[in-house]
């Protein structure tokens, strides 16, 4: 179980031969376009500050070119930073020497790629235990661990198949099994499900959530899909042009978009799948008897519970089971249809 989160502090990435020479100019307000036109350098990341909680899923999302893949590659230093810190377990990854970095990559991080990155000449089992082979783990031990994770991701019986004998979804399950077999604290997933068909994609999201409920890895998940971000993310950071525009929980972003750009993202979101009962509950009036629902239950599931039990309302309870409020269908419907995103866009335009 991961015991340390990741803290990114004042991170800049400027692509070009003299990137560090232009950090102060960018800090002073030189734009991405000006940096490119006048100095021939490309601004990849600007002053990134994100705390990624231990044992949670942090989703970094944005459109193509926003800097999200550049950001995730700083965590295992596949990309060298221009300026700033990436702190894990009290140590700045950016300051590690090559030996320290090699150990960090081998034992603390594992990566799941969009294009699966499986070795075509190796079987499912051989791909799964590839990282353990590099670490020098004996085959008897690595095979045992590999078989366990292959089964956990739903591929039991496919150990001796080759990648070209598997569907895209099955190949991605191998990629996930390979990452989990390394038993790394940090799981880096760069657009891991973007190449999958929609139904398979949702299935893989479920696999990840089910495993994460047990394993509590520190997961950094990159996506351009807001629905995926809202379903997976304990915390979400939205990037545009290399900068963090907004970060917080899915609820934070849906209920209070920071600007018209974020508002445009969230206006079509199914709010019932994001907003929690505890957010819109009313003070408890009268008896606490009857149907009880968790304050963390989504409004969609709360409405389903109320309707299926024929109740007029539900008592909302906290994690300890203590009544903290009440909720009825009227309040649920009001919260689900309030166009927070559209309203924010209107206010920003004014």
Is residue 222 included in any domain, yes or no? yes
Residue 74, domain extent = 6-266
DSSP letter, residue 271: G
235 and 283 fall within a common domain: no
* pLDDT above 50 for 2: no
226 and 115 fall within a common domain: yes
What is the per-residue pLDDT for 189?
94
* pLDDT above 70 for 341: no
pLDDT tier, 349 (very low <50, low <70, confident <90, very high otherwise) = very low
> 47-58: per-residue pLDDT in tens?
999 999 999 999
Is residue 346 included in any domain, yes or no? no
Q: Are 223 and 229 in contact (CB under 8 A)?
A: yes
> 62-105: per-residue pLDDT in tens?
888 899 999 999 999 999 999 999 999 999 999 999 999 999 99
CATH number at residue 233: 3.40.50.300
321 and 212 fall within a common domain: no
49 and 134 fall within a common domain: yes
CATH number at residue 280: 3.10.580.10
What is the per-residue pLDDT for 338?
59
- Residue 234 has phi, psi (to 5 degrees) of -75, -30
User: What value does the mean pLDDT of the chain take?
Assistant: 89
Q: Beta-carbon neighbour count of residue 161 at 10 Å?
A: 15
Q: Are 314 and 290 in contact (CB under 8 A)?
A: yes
pLDDT tier, 339 (very low <50, low <70, confident <90, very high otherwise) = low
What is the per-residue pLDDT for 100?
94
Question: 322 in the Ramachandran plot: left (φ > 0), alpha (ψ -120 to 50) or beta?
Answer: beta
With CA atoms as reference, report the closest residue to 204 among 234, 171, 156. 171
What is the per-residue pLDDT for 4?
73
What is the per-residue pLDDT for 311?
86
134 and 183 fall within a common domain: yes
Is residue 286 included in any domain, yes or no? yes
243 and 312 fall within a common domain: no
pTM: 0.86
- 225, burial (CB in 10 Å: exposed 0-12, middle 13-18, buried 19+): middle
**pLDDT above 70: percentage of residues in the chain:** 95
What is the per-residue pLDDT for 267?
83
Averaged pLDDT, 299-310? 91
259 and 299 fall within a common domain: no
For residue 328, the cross-strand partners are: 313
* pLDDT above 60 for 234: yes
Please count the structural domains in the chain. Answer: 2
122 and 202 fall within a common domain: yes
């Amino acid at each position: 179980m991961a015991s340390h989160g990741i803290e990114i502090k004042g991170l800049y990435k400027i692509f070009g031969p003299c990137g560090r020479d232009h950090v102060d100019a960018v800090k002073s307000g030189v734009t991405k376009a000006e940096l490119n036109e006048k100095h021939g350098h490309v601004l990849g990341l600007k002053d990134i500050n994100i705390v990624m909680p231990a044992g949670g899923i942090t989703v970094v999302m944005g459109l193509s070119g926003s800097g999200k893949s550049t950001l995730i590659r700083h965590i295992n230093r596949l990309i060298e930073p221009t300026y700033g810190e990436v702190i894990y377990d009290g140590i700045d990854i950016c300051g590690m020497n090559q030996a320290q970095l090699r150990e960090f990559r081998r034992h603390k991080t594992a990566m799941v790629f969009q294009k699966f990155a499986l070795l075509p000449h190796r079987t499912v089992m051989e791909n799964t235990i590839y990282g353990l082979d590099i670490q020098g783990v004996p085959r008897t031990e690595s095979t045992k661990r590999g078989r366990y994770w292959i089964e956990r991701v739903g591929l039991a019986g496919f150990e001796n198949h080759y990648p070209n004998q598997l569907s895209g979804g099955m190949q991605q399950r191998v990629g996930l099994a390979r990452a989990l077999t390394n038993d790394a604290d940090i799981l880096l997933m760069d657009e891991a499900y973007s190449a999958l068909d929609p139904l398979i994609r949702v299935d893989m999201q479920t696999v990840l959530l089910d495993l994460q409920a047990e394993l509590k890895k520190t997961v950094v998940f990159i996506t351009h899909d807001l629905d995926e971000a809202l379903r997976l993310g304990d915390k979400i950071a939205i990037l545009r042009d290399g900068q963090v525009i907004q970060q917080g929980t899915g609820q934070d972003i849906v209920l209070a978009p920071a600007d018209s750009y974020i508002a445009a993202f969230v206006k079509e979101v199914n709010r019932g799948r994001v907003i929690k009962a505890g957010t819109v509950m009313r003070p408890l009036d009268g008896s606490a008897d009857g149907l009880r629902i968790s304050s963390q239950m989504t409004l969609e599931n709360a409405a389903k519970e109320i309707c299926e039990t024929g109740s007029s309302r539900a008592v909302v309870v906290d994690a300890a089971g203590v009544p903290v409020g009440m909720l009825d269908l009227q309040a649920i419907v009001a919260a689900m249809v309030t166009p927070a995103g559209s309203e924010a866009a209107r206010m920003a335009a004014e």
